[in-house]
Chains A and B, each alone.
Chain A
Amino acid sequence: MIAARTVWPALIPFAAAVAALGLILAGLTLVGYAPGEVLATAWRGLAGSPLRLGIWAQEATPLLLTGLAAGLAFRCGVLNVGTEGQYLMGAVTALAVLLALPPSVLSPWLAALAGAGAGALWCALAYGLDRWRGVPLVLSAILLNVVAARVLGALVEGPLHDPTTAAPQSALVPEAARLGALLPGTALTLAAPLAVALAVASWLVQRQTALGFEFTVIGLNPVAGDLAGIPVESRRRLAALGSGALAGLAGAFQVAGVTWFLSGDAQSYGYAGIAVALLGRLHPLGMIPAALFFAGLDISGRQWERRLGIPHDLGDVAKGAAVALVLAAGFFRGRR
């Protein structure tokens, strides 16, 4: 009985992922592609060699971190839909630190700290507007996402601009200041094991500590939490700050270890993190397969586009469909 009740819900995201993928495959079959070839292309791109597997893990890392960020806040009932802005502010702050400090082994870690701090501050701004000025967090966070993208654009073309090019992109982080690759040929860095460790840590905090229990209670029913003597506001503040910090960390690691520069181009790891969190049913460990699924769709999409001429954005459609299916299956019911 207990087994049935806990196992079934855990299987829903997997079923949703398969169904979403099936939907895409069915659509492609209808317009004349061979589903076997589509799948084989995806598989070769994902797991064709150890190098490919490394790239898969590399791509999943920022998604796992932003997923953990969104999940931490959502579990506590703080609907931080501002992970995108927090990710961007984390990335650009880390970049500024990396470019300003003399390069050393410590640089990427200082940048990670700065990025996490910037993400937390950006979330604190949204949270403060909610708490003290009555602007709903959902609105303040989502508007600050747009502002963050513009701020990043201005910094990238202004103080952080690469003087050797006219393109709107920042200078390159010096090699000595980068986070080293664990697997040559990829940008798989220590960020990946660290993200997994953070997922495990989140799960342990959620399961084993009073704090984790309080977060869960507040998320399920803040009134009950308040009556039980939980300091609801201070816990929510903590969840918001932690959430922003994780999103900022994701951006910082991406700059220090993967891209080494920033441009004004649209990014979406922050938005995708919300979807990863939902697909993982807000379970820190569930977000690991969810992040791998999303990263897998990104990589497969690019492979499909290159080899078969299928638009890579179809991967995004599959993401949206998977999340919609998980929600439709009764997860994250609207709160009272």
Chain B
Amino acid sequence: MSAGILVDALLTGAVAAATPLLVAGLGELAAERAGVLNIGIEGLMLAGCFAAFAVTAATGNPWLGLGAAVLAAMALGGVFAVVSLTCRADQIVAGMAVNLLAVGGTGAAWRILQDRGLTDLPAGSGFTRGWTGIPALGELPVVGPLLFDQYGMTAFALVLAGVLALVRRRTRLGLVLHGVGQDPHALAASGVRVLGVRWGAVLFAAACAGLAGAYLSTMRTHAFVPLMTGGTGFVVLALVMFGRWSVGGLVVGCLLFGLAESAQQGLQSLPGARVVPHQLFQALPYLVALIALALAGRSAPGPAALGRPWPER
């Protein structure tokens, strides 16, 4: 294999691995900017992952699956919002409860799916690579494998990143979102409904997490296994912090992490790699995330009101 092909494979794999992280991360970024830390994002992704697979398996239409993923994640996100925003429970423990609900709910529903024999997607019903539908684009040097020989979700993620960056810089909504996470008192005083904004941000984040989950089960693979997300949601939380709560930082973080993930898979397939247990390779991306966070230190604090309930008493 020539070095060029190897690098191509590495980069293509990196973008493919970064895509769900970016989609879920952009949602979580918006929520955290509004002051809401949702540990339950792992569970929301799992719910989306399952719902997309189940509905696609049942109907043969992946678009319906995508819609189901968004709805399922938003419903669970709604539970989180009721508990943590409306009832003002601690956001972290509320998020853990959401994770528990998602693990149990998807596990139970998976059994039902198995009983009905819906354990595979109907042939050809999952999404395919090359979202433009023009194979020639995928063969372009560099941008071909990176942008065009990917699933549509990759393009969507980049567009969403651009839109969010614009909203942040150019619109009142962006300012309000920021303010609600920074100084909810001031925003409330100027007539903004703090809870309403936070509810909206949480539901948006849930929808994004649902899409990211759908990517795992109907695009990157065409399969579902219980606990499929396996900690991806937690990595998303780490990446949002690593990116200093900025869209650009998040994109860079996701790509770096995607690269680590892709390299990890590449390393595993090297002939000499058998000496090292494959689990240690799998642990590598999480260690990379931890080390990156540790090195990044505490130089930039997050949104001042992150994790705090509103109203405070």
**Among the listed A145, A158, A311, A315, which residue makes an inter-chain contact with B277, where contact means beta carbons less than 8 Å apart?**
A158
Chain B contacts with A in 203-249, Cβ cutoff 8 A: 227, 230-231, 234-235, 237-238, 241
When the two chains form their complex, are residues A135 and B227 in contact, meaning their CB atoms are under 8 A apart?
A: no
A194 contacts the other chain (CB 8 A): no
When the two chains form their complex, are residues B83 and A311 in contact, meaning their CB atoms are under 8 A apart?
A: no
Would A319 and B104 be within 8 Å (CB), given that A135-B294, A147-B287, A266-B227 are in contact? yes
* CB closest residue in chain A, given B86: A328
Chain B contacts with A in 67-111, Cβ cutoff 8 A: 79, 82-84, 87-94, 96-111
- In the docked arrangement, what's the CA distance between A287 and B91, Å? 21
- In the docked arrangement, what's the CA distance between A131 and B77, Å? 31
When the two chains form their complex, are residues A327 and B94 in contact, meaning their CB atoms are under 8 A apart?
A: yes
- Provide the residues of chain A in CB contact with B280, threshold 8 Å: 150-151, 154
A307 contacts the other chain (CB 8 A): no
**Among the listed B89, B278, B283, B295, which residue makes an inter-chain contact with A146, where contact means beta carbons less than 8 Å apart?**
B283
When the two chains form their complex, are residues B290 and A142 in contact, meaning their CB atoms are under 8 A apart?
A: no
- In the docked arrangement, what's the CA distance between A136 and B237, Å? 11
- Provide the residues of chain B in CB contact with A333, threshold 8 Å: 88-90, 309
When the two chains form their complex, are residues B241 and A324 in contact, meaning their CB atoms are under 8 A apart?
A: no
* CB closest residue in chain A, given B309: A334
A336 contacts the other chain (CB 8 A): yes
Chain A contacts with B in 295-336, Cβ cutoff 8 A: 305, 309, 311-321, 323-324, 327-336
**Among the listed B89, B227, B308, which residue makes an inter-chain contact with A336, where contact means beta carbons less than 8 Å apart?**
B308
- Provide the residues of chain B in CB contact with A314, threshold 8 Å: 104, 108
- In the docked arrangement, what's the CA distance between A305 and B110, Å? 13
- Provide the residues of chain B in CB contact with A123, threshold 8 Å: none
When the two chains form their complex, are residues A317 and B104 in contact, meaning their CB atoms are under 8 A apart?
A: yes
**Among the listed A133, A145, A309, which residue makes an inter-chain contact with B231, where contact means beta carbons less than 8 Å apart?**
A145
In the complex, what's the smallest C-beta–C-beta distance from A324 to chain B, in angstroms?
5
When the two chains form their complex, are residues A139 and B241 in contact, meaning their CB atoms are under 8 A apart?
A: yes
A212 contacts the other chain (CB 8 A): no
**Among the listed B278, B286, B297, which residue makes an inter-chain contact with A143, where contact means beta carbons less than 8 Å apart?**
B286
When the two chains form their complex, are residues B279 and A264 in contact, meaning their CB atoms are under 8 A apart?
A: yes
Please encode chain A, from 122 to 161, with 1 for each CB lying within 8 Å of some chain B CB and 0 for all others: 0000000100011110111011111100110110011000
- In the docked arrangement, what's the CA distance between A142 and B229, Å? 14
- Provide the residues of chain A in CB contact with B294, threshold 8 Å: 129, 133, 135
* CB closest residue in chain B, given A327: B89
- Provide the residues of chain A in CB contact with B109, threshold 8 Å: 311
* CB closest residue in chain A, given B82: A328
Of the candidate stretches A40-48, A58-66, A172-180, A271-279, the one touching chain B is A271-279
When the two chains form their complex, are residues A271 and B99 in contact, meaning their CB atoms are under 8 A apart?
A: yes
**Among the listed A151, A311, A324, which residue makes an inter-chain contact with B111, where contact means beta carbons less than 8 Å apart?**
A311
Please encode chain B, from 253 to 290, with 1 for each CB lying within 8 Å of some chain A CB and 0 for all others: 00000000000000000000000011110110011011
Would A320 and B100 be within 8 Å (CB), given that A158-B277, A334-B309 are in contact? yes
- Provide the residues of chain A in CB contact with B297, threshold 8 Å: 133-134
- Provide the residues of chain A in CB contact with B237, threshold 8 Å: 139, 142
In the complex, what's the smallest C-beta–C-beta distance from B135 to chain A, in angstroms?
38
- Provide the residues of chain A in CB contact with B231, threshold 8 Å: 142-143, 145-146
When the two chains form their complex, are residues B107 and A311 in contact, meaning their CB atoms are under 8 A apart?
A: yes
B118 contacts the other chain (CB 8 A): no
**Among the listed B90, B104, B282, which residue makes an inter-chain contact with A334, where contact means beta carbons less than 8 Å apart?**
B90
A81 contacts the other chain (CB 8 A): yes
When the two chains form their complex, are residues B92 and A79 in contact, meaning their CB atoms are under 8 A apart?
A: yes
* CB closest residue in chain B, given A132: B294
In the complex, what's the smallest C-beta–C-beta distance from B106 to chain A, in angstroms?
8
Would A313 and B83 be within 8 Å (CB), given that A151-B283, A327-B93, A333-B89 are in contact? no
B170 contacts the other chain (CB 8 A): no
- In the docked arrangement, what's the CA distance between A275 and B92, Å? 12
* CB closest residue in chain A, given B306: A136
B116 contacts the other chain (CB 8 A): no
B112 contacts the other chain (CB 8 A): yes
* CB closest residue in chain B, given A79: B92
- Provide the residues of chain A in CB contact with B94, threshold 8 Å: 324, 327
B64 contacts the other chain (CB 8 A): no
- Provide the residues of chain A in CB contact with B111, threshold 8 Å: 305, 311-313
* CB closest residue in chain A, given B283: A150
In the complex, what's the smallest C-beta–C-beta distance from A60 to chain B, in angstroms?
17
In the complex, what's the smallest C-beta–C-beta distance from B45 to chain A, in angstroms?
14
- In the docked arrangement, what's the CA distance between A150 and B287, Å? 11
B293 contacts the other chain (CB 8 A): yes
- Provide the residues of chain B in CB contact with A153, threshold 8 Å: 277, 279
Would A332 and B89 be within 8 Å (CB), given that A311-B111, A314-B108 are in contact? yes
- Provide the residues of chain A in CB contact with B282, threshold 8 Å: 150
- In the docked arrangement, what's the CA distance between A138 and B95, Å? 11
- Provide the residues of chain A in CB contact with B293, threshold 8 Å: 129, 133, 135, 139-140
- In the docked arrangement, what's the CA distance between A329 and B82, Å? 11
**Among the listed A139, A147, A324, A334, which residue makes an inter-chain contact with B101, where contact means beta carbons less than 8 Å apart?**
A324
In the complex, what's the smallest C-beta–C-beta distance from A302 to chain B, in angstroms?
12
Please encode chain A, from 209 to 246, with 1 for each CB lying within 8 Å of some chain B CB and 0 for all others: 00000000000000000000000000000000000000
**Among the listed B37, B277, B290, B298, which residue makes an inter-chain contact with A144, where contact means beta carbons less than 8 Å apart?**
B290
A-B contact pairs, 20 of them (CB 8 A): A129-B294, A133-B298, A135-B294, A139-B238, A140-B290, A140-B293, A143-B231, A154-B278, A154-B283, A278-B93, A316-B105, A316-B107, A317-B101, A317-B108, A320-B102, A321-B101, A327-B84, A327-B89, A327-B97, A335-B307
Which residues in A have some Cβ–Cβ distance to B below 8 Å?
Answer: 74, 79, 81, 129, 133-136, 138-140, 142-147, 150-151, 153-154, 157-158, 264, 266, 268, 271-272, 274-275, 278, 305, 309, 311-321, 323-324, 327-336
Apart from A312-B108, A313-B105, list 20 A-B contacts with CB within 8 A: A81-B92, A133-B297, A140-B293, A143-B290, A146-B286, A150-B280, A150-B282, A151-B279, A151-B283, A153-B279, A157-B279, A271-B96, A311-B107, A320-B97, A320-B105, A323-B96, A327-B94, A327-B97, A330-B87, A333-B309
